[in-house]
Every structure is written in structure tokens, then in C-alpha cells.
Structure 1
Amino acid sequence: MTAIVSSRQREIVEVFVRYGWDYMRQLLTLGKGDEPEIPTPEILCNILTDLGPVYVKLGQLLSTRPDLLPPAYVEALSHLQSDVPPVGWTEIEIVIRNQFSQPIDQIFETIDEQAVAAGSIAQVHRATLKSGEPVAIKVQRPGIEAIVARDIAIFNQIAGLLSATDFGKRYNVVSLADEFGRSLQNELDFTQEAQYTEQLRKNLSTSRWFDPEQIIVPKIYHDLSNKKILVLEWLDGVPILKAKLDGKNYGGDSDAERHAISTLLFRAFFQQYLIDGFFHADPHPGNLFYLRDGRIGVLDCGMTGVLNPRMQSVIVELVLAIMDLDADRCTQLTLQLADPMDMRRPINLAQMRADYDRLLRRYYNLSLSNLNIGEAFGQILEAARLNNLRLPSNIGLLTKSIVNLEGAGREFDPAVNAMEEVRPLMTDLFRRQLVGEDPARSILRTALEFKQLSLESPRQVGFLLDRLSSETLKLNLVLQDLNAMRRTIDDAASRRSISTVASALIIGAAIISTGQQTSQSQLIGNGFFVAASLLGLWLIFTTWRSSRRSRS
């Protein structure tokens, strides 16, 4: 493997030299370098394309991290595609045969030898099962595992060399290399994609926001799928933008129909983001199909993201803060989303708040119908990045997903707007966040939390008192005007004592009045009430005078 990596290193160095990226050449050949200079977005895309399909996939993964890269790089890398010709049928047939314990002609009636799609990791062929069902066979490219393992080793080596630089420490490149390595390895395991597809299919099968019969995720044939081959239901249709151009054959030619399809897509994806917490992270036009029967198909679930309930709640509030142009709230919410393990770097909150205010000013005179949620989220992440705040990778995936969704939606239906589609869902979102799907369970959970708090609080106070009495707790205080503080404490203690006496008089009077009434007991009770009333009036007067004196 070392010899292979060394040979691959030479190929990589040649590409770097060809494009004038001298820093990386020095890093790989001499093992050292100062602060790296990143080439322009266009040159970086060319370098990754020339380095091969694994590096193209790396660029695509980087495009999901607007918290790490400036918008120009994210935009350029988002359009990065592998110009990879399909593998010949002879080699693909060997892979397919090796994945089944029985001859493939006993499983498939026909297999189209010409690939219908080809990517850096796999390619897709159309086939028909013996039962007559049309299916798509996604087959892993021969030898791709060794290529990915080789290039991941180089990623890790480069990250190790960069880790000693300020750049490497600032971006924690070793951790990033591990993250990207795991992502690439996961894409080689089609059983995981099968699980993701099944989960998305299940989530979109029910909804209060749209008709689940109108959107479909392909069914997985689990008994025919494994790590290297994935057999899915064939969806007969065309990419959604082609449906717009060829409306006579597929529909989608009227404004009303296009708007209905756009509404369906936006509601289906916002349910994924804000209700299900599991979402398709790459809804570009090629993964959204308009089917011949009028339904919409969602394909390629290999890239997905997960949002826990806390993140979902914060994101809803962040959308509202953007709509309200509230820079302070945006700052607070971004901090709540930040990675707690990455808070060691100095964060300039005042500068971040000023950046948010500057960004949101762009929307001051803009109606909500023109507000682009994906663009606004991207700008929020960019301001956080510039102020040393790192957000979890799933927030970057969410932003990429929304940007792709809005881009595809507006290209298909120029009149569509995400804010207008989300507005009717807000009431349902608020209800869900306040009381959850089961109000009784939410009330019970809240009651149990209060019970736990009531049990823990005395223990924590007792622990604090024990530490105080044993002198193991040290308090560092700076006291100014100690006499004034002492007078304030004395006054507070006196008022507390008087209020206690007044309360005791009221309780005593109430007890006497509920007992057997005699003239003597009635007189004593009335006396208690009068005394308590006078003490209460005196307490109110002294408190008012004290507050006036403190203000003056």
C-alpha cells in the first residue's frame, strides 16, 4: 500500500504543479509549509476533477460545509460533477454475478447492458425481474474500494501535516479528514443507503401537510441488495426540469399544475426538516422525477442529514428571527447550535452581532415573498464562520438541502416562494413544539421534571451548605460599599421578619374564625387582622421608601 500511495502522491503533486498550487506540492514533498493559500474556486474545482472521482466526491462533501468555506467555494463545489464514463458491461456483469448465490438469469428476466446513469462510486442499469417488475440495479464500480482506501490514506497524511499549522488547528483538519473518510466509506456500503431510503419512504407515507399518495420514494428489494449492489423499484418518469420543458408528454405545463407540484415538494421537505428530523440532503433537479402517472419521485437517498428535536426547535426560531430581522436573537440561536466541543476558540460576539445586523439589513425593504431561506441561512453560517464559531455538519447539510430545494423549485416554478409555502405550517409547528404529538405525555413529562427538580434542589442546597461549613468552597468576591450592603441586608431581614409575623397573625385569625365563635374569640381574631393589616401597610411603605432612596 505504501508504494501505491507514493505513486499516487506523485500523480497528485503533478496535478498541483500543473495548476500552480505550490503550497501543496511543498507539503507533500518536503512535509512542511506555512499558512496555506487556497486557489480560486474555479481552479480548485479543476484540481479536484483532474485528481479523480474520489476527490470529486470530496469536493461535493465540502460543498455541504458552508460553516467551513466562503460562499463562492460552496457554490462552485456544489456544481462539481464526476465526468466518469460508465464501466463496460463485461466488468459490471462479473460484479453482479459475484453478489448472488444463484445465476442471475434465474433472478432477472432482462438486464439492459447500457448504463442509464454513471457516477464516481456506482452506475445504474435497468432490469426486469422474473416476476415482471421493472427495477433499477445500482452496481458498485469494480476496484473502487481500493481507490477510496488509497485516497483516504492520503487525506489523513495531508491532515497530519497540516495539523501543526494555525490553519490546521483552527479548522481541526484531522477531525475533518476522519469525518470525510467515514462519509466516503459509508457511500461504499449500499445497505446503509437502503436503510436511509426505507426510512424516508416510511416518513413520507403519512402527513398532515400534503397528500402522501402524490410523492413516492422507490421501494428497496432487500433480499436482492447488499453492500455492493442495490436493487430498487423503477420509477418511470423524467427529471422535473425536463417535465417542464416537455409538458405535452408529462404534464407540468400549466402554471396551476407547476405550483401544485412545487407546494408538494416544499411541504414534503419541510416535514423532513422540522417534523421527522431525517432529511434528503441533495434534492437537486436530477433527483426529483416527474412520473408518467403524475406523482413526484424522490431518488438517491445516499446523502441524508439528521436533526434532533432541540436543533429543529432552534431552526424554527432562527427562521422567525430572520423574518423579524432580529440580529440579537440570531446571535443567541447560532450560539445554541454551535458545537460545544469547538467553543475553545475566541468568539467575538459583538462583531458577530454586528455582522448579523449588516446581513439582515438587506431584507429591511424586502417582502417575505422574496426572502430566500437557503441564502439567508448560508449568510448566517458565513458570519458564524468568520467569527470562529463552528456549527455541526448537519446544519451545513440542512443549508445545502434548502438551497438545492429552492433552486430546483424556482427553476421549475419561478413564482414559488419557500416562505409562502412554510407560512401555513407554522401553527402546526408551534403546537408540536409546545405540547408535542401527545399533550398528555408532554404534561406528564413536565410534571416529572418538576418533581425531579423539587427532589434535587434540597440535595444540591444541602451539598452547598456542607461545602460551606467544611470550608471546601472558596468564593472570590469584590465588595464595594460594604456598609451599604450590610444596611440593605439588615433592612431585608427586618422586612422578612415583619412579613412572617403578619402572615402568622393572619393564619391565627383565620384559625380562630373557623372555630366556635364567641365574643372573646371574635375580638381576638379581629385584633389579629387589624395588627396584620397595619404591619402590611408599614411593610409596603418602608419598601417603597427604600426603593426611592436606592434610585436617588
Structure 2
Amino acid sequence: MRHIARLLYIIVTVLRYGLDEVALSGFRQPWVRAFVKVVTVGRRLHAPPGQRLREALERLGPIFVKFGQVLSTRRDLLPDDIADELARLQDDVPPFPAAVARQLVERAFNRPIEAIFATFEAEPVASASIAQVHFATLKDGREVAVKVLRPGMLAVIDDDMALLRTLARWIERLSVDGKRLKPREVVAEFDNYLHDELDLVREAANGAQLRRNMEGLGLLLVPEMIWDYCTQTVIVMERMKGVPISQTQRLRDAGVDIPKLARDGVTIFFTQVFRDGFFHADMHPGNIQVSVDPASFGRYIALDFGIVGTLTEVDKDYLAQNFIAFFRRDYKRVAELHIESGWVPPGTRVDELEGAIRAVCEPHFDRPLKDISLGQVLLRLFQTSRRFNVEIQPQLVLLQKTLLNVEGLGRQLDPELDLWNTAKPFLERWMNEQVGWRGLLEGIKKEGPRYVQLLPELPRLLHQALQRPARDDHALLLRMVSQQRRTERLLIALISAMLGVAGGAGLMWWLVRGPAWG
């Protein structure tokens, strides 16, 4: 009954704010216009459509607000007035009362707020769908930002996720594409990310990890977490001072190189994805600032680490090969990768899939970002995937969302940015480091000690595997064989390296001493 009540609430909100009119306003058919007139009878719809859409999403809760945040970055798909209104969802959600925030902070630390902070600003500096932020000063004089979780979030999110799970089951049963799209798995991924956001200690840990990863790059600043004051509902971090990335004119007036800033954004994204396999996955403009401090001028500032994405080594390698093949326009290799990974049925003809991918991607090369809509490209690829029964990979849904965010940011900063040529050198360099001599040496340094320890145990482990029933040991045997092959390759590489060193040393000795017969 609670789920039915929530569904009715959503329907009433949609009608109250005239979202049906917004959704159908682009249709010109007379019967559609007549329907809009009927359903809007008796309602006062004086506010502009964009404002009504924003207010409805705010009223419906955090899941809908996040949907609006993603939409706000796609100005190529939305009218400017609606995009401007949705942009307010990034950091301008109505705050909860300052007295409530104060009570939550005191409850989290179990002491009066004056015992923790020298100053605490009652007015929040930012208010989002999950939490709001207040500036404060610690007793030792450090300026900090205090993030406070909104009260009652867990119950609202649980109700909405229950509705989404029900909807996913219906889609899977009734839609011809249901099983291929894996809606239940996608909803489960989204559920995990939202519940992770409700644990601010996890967010603080994500921020600390991202800070360590980005230290050597010199392009991104991440606030330091004050671990003595981090709990599940309240966290305290270093205060960052920057200009919101959406205020491009202010950045230009400060002397920031906007085209370089756009290129740096692409570099940061691909570094996090392919080097670290750990990326900031909520990169809407409300979470990104730019430093104008002389010591760190022009560097990005990342905020809000509630949603991060992770990729395995297999995912990174597969994605990098796909990207490079796309950038080289090697559509045959893209098709082969889809078949090798099992994303399409094994009987799929490579030439047919190659031709379909070429038709989608070829028109978009050698064009500036202002002339490319990645959303439209993904839509065409989605249509192609239906034809070839491509299975959706839930673990990559978050990456796709982040890629759309990055494209939206790049479009706002520099419409002339060539996304392909900016990313291609980075990916080629990364692949060379992974599969070239440098990759081999790094692999030897990283895995060598483990293989040396494992090598004497291989005969015993293999013997144990052979003694087990066939149905139990098949997977283990495959892993053992794979491990043995990797060990053999490593030993061959080590022996080759040793022979190379020995041969080089012998040659140097011969050159210094001269031929013995001379």
C-alpha cells in the first residue's frame, strides 16, 4: 500500500505541475494538443515550464533531482530556459532549516557545536538532494566545510527504489528487450550507489582515495578529510575556494585558459578511468570548481564524492581497446571485441556488426564537440545493439552517465574541443604502458614475488584439482591452467631479460678487452 501511495503521489505531482504538458508540448498533432487542453483544465500553470519541471523534481525527492542534474548538462537536447532551471538543482535545492542542521551536527558528535567549532555559519553555502554544506572554523583556526545529511532520506529512497524494482520486473517480463537490457541489474547498481551516498564516511573515504590518486597529476585538487570529525551523517573537510565551473565568464575575466581547462578535464577523466579504475562519477557543474588562487591557478577542484565508479583490469583493457579502435576508425576490431567479450551472440557476423557501427560513428569524426551529440551517438548505438542482441553491462552504466557529464562540461567550456583527438594520445600511451616493455617490467615488479611463492605449489594444487569431481574442478582447472600460462610467460620474460643482460655484459667485456685472438 505504501508503494501504491507513492505512485499516486508521483502522478498527482506530475499533473499538479503540468509536466504532462511539458512532455507533450513538442507534438503538433491536433489530437495531442486537445489532450493537453483537457488534462490542464482547472490548473494554474502561470510559471514557465522549466521552473515547474524543477519544482516538481525537487518535490519528488533525491532520485528525481539526480535525474534533473544529469539532464541539466545536456543543453544540446534541451531548450535554454529549461536547462537553466535544471542547473539550479546542482547546488540550489531548498535547504532544510539551520536549527535542524545544528541539531544533527550536535547529535553526530554528541557535544555542543561550540565545543567543536570556533565559528559555524547557520546559512548553508550549498544545498543538494542528499545533503547540505555549511562553512565553519575549527578551534585551531582551520577553515572547513561541514556536510550534513538530510534527515529522512533513507525511507524516501527505499520507497522509490522499490517502485523502480517493480517497474524493472515488468519491463523484463513484458518487453521484448527486457532480458537484454537487464533492468533489474541496472536498478540494483543504482540502488547501491544511492545507498553509498547515504553513508558520509564512505564518501570521505572516496575523497581520500581520489586525493591520493590525483596528487601527482597536478590538474585536480581534492579537499583533505578531517577524520576526527567524520561520521555517517556528518563529515568535516578542508574548505576549498574556487569559482564554479559553470561561471565561464568569471573564469575568463580571472585569466583562466578555457580551452586548456576543457582539455585538462578530458585528461582527468581518462586518467581516473584507465590509469586508476576509480573515477568521480557525479561530475555535474555543481560539484566542480576552478581554483583562481595563485598557488594552484587554473586547476580543477572536485567536490562531493558520494558516487564513484570502479573498473576491473578486464573492464579497463576492454574499454581502452574499444576507444582506440574507435579513434582509429577500426570498426572491424570494435565488432571483434564485442564478440570476444560475449556482449553479442557468438554466431554474429563480424562484417554486419562492423558495417552497423561504422554507420553510427563515421559521421561524427573530424568535427568539433559543438557539432557532436554524444547522446545521439549513444542512442544510435542503442538502436544498433537491439538489432544484434547486445547485452547491456550494468557495471558500465555509471561510466556512460559520467561520460555524458564530461561531454556536457566540455561543451560548456569549449564547443570547439575535439574530444577524439584530445583523448586518443592518452589512450595510446596508456595501452603502450600496459602491453609494451614498460608494462612487462611493471608486471614483473608487481606480480613477480607472488608468482615465485606460487610456483612451487602449482603441482600440488593441480593434483588436488584432478582428484575432485569433474563438475567441481572444471572452473578451478581453467584458472590453474591460466595461472600456469601466466607464470610460464613471466618466467620466459625473466629468462629473456637475464639472457639479454648477460649477453649485453659479455659484449661490453669483449669490446673493452678486445678479441682474444687479436
**Pair in the same fold by TM > 0.5:** yes
Report the equivalent of 2:6.
8
Residue 165 (structure 1) aligned with residue 170 (structure 2): no
Report the equivalent of 1:130.
139
Taking a change above 3 Å as real, the CA distance of residues 129 and 349 of structure 1, as seen in their structure-2 partners, is same
Report the equivalent of 1:244.
249
For 2:406 and 2:9, the matched residues in 1 are separated by 37
Are 2:105 and 2:148, in contact at CA under 8 Å, matched by a contact in 1? yes
Are 2:96 and 2:150, in contact at CA under 8 Å, matched by a contact in 1? yes
Residue 145 (structure 1) aligned with residue 154 (structure 2): yes
Taking a change above 3 Å as real, the CA distance of residues 402 and 217 of structure 1, as seen in their structure-2 partners, is same
Superposition deviation, residue 100 in structure 1: 0.4
Q: Which runs of 5+ in 1 are unaligned?
A: 22-41, 65-70, 468-552
Are 1:15 and 1:47, in contact at CA under 8 Å, matched by a contact in 2? no
Deviations 1:244-282 (A, max 9, x none): 33544x331xxxx33443343332222112211111123
For 1:59 and 1:403, the matched residues in 2 are separated by 13
Taking a change above 3 Å as real, the CA distance of residues 232 and 152 of structure 1, as seen in their structure-2 partners, is same
Q: 1:198 is matched with which residue: 208, 229, 234?
A: 208
Which amino acid in structure 1 is aligned with residue 242 of structure 2?
G
- Within a 5 Å distance, the mapping from 1:30-179 to structure 2 comes to 49=57, 52-57=60-65, 59=67, 82=89, 84-166=93-175, 168-179=178-189
Superposition deviation, residue 13 in structure 1: 4.2
- Within a 5 Å distance, the mapping from 1:13-412 to structure 2 comes to 13-15=11-13, 49=57, 52-57=60-65, 59=67, 82=89, 84-166=93-175, 168-207=178-217, 212=218, 214-245=219-250, 247-248=252-253, 250-252=254-256, 257-293=257-293, 294=297, 295-336=299-340, 352-363=353-364, 366=366, 378=378, 381-383=381-383, 385-387=385-387, 388-412=389-413
Taking a change above 3 Å as real, the CA distance of residues 182 and 314 of structure 1, as seen in their structure-2 partners, is closer
Which amino acid in structure 2 is aligned with residue 299 of structure 1?
L
Superposition deviation, residue 51 in structure 1: 6.1
Taking a change above 3 Å as real, the CA distance of residues 282 and 148 of structure 1, as seen in their structure-2 partners, is closer
Which amino acid in structure 2 is aligned with residue 418 of structure 1?
L
Other structure's SS at 1:221 match: strand
Are 1:258 and 1:413, in contact at CA under 8 Å, matched by a contact in 2? yes
Report the equivalent of 1:549.
none
Which amino acid in structure 2 is aligned with residue 386 of structure 1?
R
Deviations 1:361-396 (A, max 9, x none): 3147x3699996956973674245423312323433
Superposition deviation, residue 160 in structure 1: 4.2
Other structure's SS at 1:241 match: coil
Other structure's SS at 1:181 match: helix
Are 2:57 and 2:65, in contact at CA under 8 Å, matched by a contact in 1? no
Taking a change above 3 Å as real, the CA distance of residues 80 and 330 of structure 1, as seen in their structure-2 partners, is farther
Report the equivalent of 1:417.
418
Q: Which has the larger radius of gyration?
A: 1
Superposition deviation, residue 217 in structure 1: 0.7
Shifted more, 407-416 versus 294-303: the winner is 407-416
For 2:401 and 2:348, the matched residues in 1 are separated by 25
Which amino acid in structure 2 is aligned with residue 52 of structure 1?
L
How many percent identity over aligned positions?
25
Task: Say how many residue pairs are matched.
Answer: 414
Other structure's SS at 1:195 match: helix
Report the equivalent of 1:547.
none
Taking a change above 3 Å as real, the CA distance of residues 352 and 10 of structure 1, as seen in their structure-2 partners, is same
Shifted more, 191-200 versus 172-181: the winner is 172-181
Superposition deviation, residue 185 in structure 1: 1.6
Superposition deviation, residue 202 in structure 1: 0.7
Taking a change above 3 Å as real, the CA distance of residues 13 and 346 of structure 1, as seen in their structure-2 partners, is farther
Superposition deviation, residue 58 in structure 1: 6.3
Superposition deviation, residue 216 in structure 1: 0.7
Are 1:56 and 1:80, in contact at CA under 8 Å, matched by a contact in 2? no
Which amino acid in structure 1 is aligned with residue 305 of structure 2?
C
For 1:188 and 1:288, the matched residues in 2 are separated by 20
For 1:183 and 1:369, the matched residues in 2 are separated by 30
Deviations 1:499-542 (A, max 9, x none): xxxxxxxxxxxxxxxxxxxxxxxxxxxxxxxxxxxxxxxxxxxx
Taking a change above 3 Å as real, the CA distance of residues 134 and 277 of structure 1, as seen in their structure-2 partners, is same
Shifted more, 87-96 versus 421-430: the winner is 421-430
For 1:93 and 1:306, the matched residues in 2 are separated by 34
Superposed CA RMSD in Å reads 4.3
Taking a change above 3 Å as real, the CA distance of residues 261 and 443 of structure 1, as seen in their structure-2 partners, is same
Are 2:357 and 2:381, in contact at CA under 8 Å, matched by a contact in 1? no
For 1:227 and 1:357, the matched residues in 2 are separated by 48
Q: TM-score with structure 2 length normalisation?
A: 0.67
For 2:135 and 2:252, the matched residues in 1 are separated by 25
Are 1:244 and 1:412, in contact at CA under 8 Å, matched by a contact in 2? no
Taking a change above 3 Å as real, the CA distance of residues 229 and 351 of structure 1, as seen in their structure-2 partners, is farther
Are 2:327 and 2:424, in contact at CA under 8 Å, matched by a contact in 1? no
Other structure's SS at 1:124 match: strand
